[in-house]
A and B are shown apart, each in its own frame.
Chain A
């Protein structure tokens, strides 16, 4: 299985500052069809995950443009600019290129 490794696992941030989460895969996530199936989710306490970003950098409808995704191959980043209180929770990356789909361990974002 493809192993997804996130860092850091805990990320205290100051309101209004930016934050970055790294996600590294054990194998390239570029599919033979040319797409890279790397997805980012956000899970608030007590809630189900919610998709933020798909195919590395495509933001979902309604997701603030403070969120951006980048990367290729095996290295990916989720960036949050101007962190707001509603951004707390756990962020997960997930790959869908290779079966079975696999998730990172999660990065817990909290406000300092």
Chain B
């Protein structure tokens, strides 16, 4: 069975940084568009960023542009989200996701929790 596994979440102070990592098992991540989506009880689901198979095209939501960077290492079958300048409102569960066609996510990771608090 194919899987996505996220890691790297945790508690960080406002203004701090975290790097989330997503690794894929039983499928070749380099063949797919990939994305990060976050979920909070209050704001629901929010698209954060996505990246094309070879990493040459990236898109970030307005709410994170300039602070977060999506990237991938196809040799390591992994996806990353570098998060700088974290804000309280970035507190969420972050999901790694496979985006096969115009955001119609067909595979989600289990999520990693990020808490931004002083």
Contact = CB atoms under 8 A, between A and B. Distances in A.
Contacts of A105: 44
Contact of A103 (B46, B102, B104): B46
Contacts, number: 57
Interface in A57-112: 60, 92, 94-97, 99-106
Interface residues of B, number: 18
B68 interface: no
Interface of B: 44-47, 59, 61-62, 95, 101-106, 108-111
Name the interface size band of chain A: 20 to 34
A96 B104 contact: yes
Nearest to A53: B104
A103 B97 CA distance: 15
Contacts of A96: 101-104
A35 B46 CA distance: 23
A99 B59 contact: yes
Interface string A21-43: 00000000001000101010100
B60 to A, nearest CB: 9
A94 B103 contact: yes
A49 B45 contact: yes
A51 B108 CA distance: 9
Nearest to B107: A51
Nearest to A58: B104
Which 5 residue pairs are nearest across A and B when measured between Cβ atoms? A96-B103, A101-B103, A96-B102, A48-B108, A37-B102
A101 B35 CA distance: 11
A104 B62 CA distance: 18
B61 A39 contact: no
B102 A35 contact: yes
Which of A31, A35, A48 has the most CB atoms of chain B within a 10 A radius of its CB?
Answer: A48
B77 to A, nearest CB: 19
